[in-house]
Amino acid sequence: MARVATPVLAAALAATFGGGPGAVPDATAASMIEEGRKIAFDRRKGNCIACHIMAGATLAGTVGPPLVGMKARFPDKIELRLQIRDATKINPQSLMPPFGRHEILTEDEIDKVVEYVHSL
């Protein structure tokens, strides 16, 4: 499977790892994280809190692992993105919805959720 970075993910990676020309300013990265948080908490979209304990979530679920220390757990954001996009590619038994494959989230929304979750 080819790993294709969307423009949002490419910009976020540039901001994270220092990017030279075209690097995303800190304000843009912060905005992406906030937009990703909104998607993750939106019960009609990401709904991450239905299964995961997350900072700031009330009535969070415990089916999935707590989303803490994500930079240590996923030092490579591309791996985190693959997990969020379609966890069944990594673990066919996963209960996590394939947000990308089922078009629950757009590629842009997945990129934003990745930025938010990676910040936890």
Count Cβ neighbours within 10 Å for each residue of 5-41 and write b for 16 or more, e otherwise: beebbebbbbbeeeeeeebbeeeebeebbebbbebbb
**pTM summary value:** 0.74
Q: Which CATH class is domain 7-15+24-119?
A: mainly alpha
pLDDT tens digit sequence for 51-62:
998 888 887 788
Q: What's the CA gap between 51 and 22, in Å, rounded? A: 36
**pLDDT above 90 (res 71):** yes
The mean pLDDT value for 87-111 works out to 93
Q: What is the pLDDT of residue 94?
A: 92
pLDDT tens digit sequence for 8-39:
555 554 444 444 444 455 778 888 999 999 99
Contact 48, 80 (CB under 8 A): no
Say which residue, 12 or 63, is predicted with more confidence: 63
Token representation of residue 2: 């080819």
Contact 96, 87 (CB under 8 A): yes
